[in-house]
Amino acid sequence: MLIELVKVSQFASSPWLAQIQTPFGGTAVRWHGEQAAKPGKYHVEWTVDQDISWGRNAMPAVGVGPGVRPGGHCVVLRGRLNLTDDGTAVLDFDGTQILLDLADPLPEGVAGTWVELFIEREKIALYPSGL
């Protein structure tokens, strides 16, 4: 996914954070690229290191279409939640596929719908890729 990197910074006892902007919102997330990265456009891969639990950190989306925004101590991602043939959960985030670990099976009828995920800021990260 192509993002606009606004800046990279670190606060006391926290990981490096990237302030980013996309066509559908912006937020700050963990950054696994160069700490001295300059502002500009970067292709990135997203990772989520938090189990997804329906009704706890995953809910029906308000609206449709991709979205990203800050949510207090969380990052809120809006995308279409899908299941693969082997039961793996994947968030389609504007054409980018983000693999998810499920804490419990999804309720009936949730697969294929627009959802919002509330992910702790320390549990979501961007990795620049060389596309």
Amino acid at position 64, single letter: V
The one-digit pLDDT tens for each residue of the chain (131 residues) are: 999 999 999 877 778 899 999 999 999 999 999 999 999 999 999 999 999 999 999 999 988 999 999 998 899 999 999 998 887 899 999 999 999 999 998 999 999 999 999 999 889 999 999 75
Contact present, 114 and 78 (Cβ < 8 Å): yes
Q: What is the pLDDT of residue 62?
A: 87
Q: Which residue ranges make up each domain of the chain?
A: 2-128
Q: What is the pLDDT of residue 72?
A: 86
User: What pTM was computed for the model?
Assistant: 0.91
> How far is residue 84's CA from residue 119's CA, in Å, rounded to a whole number?
21
Place of tokens 């309720």: 107
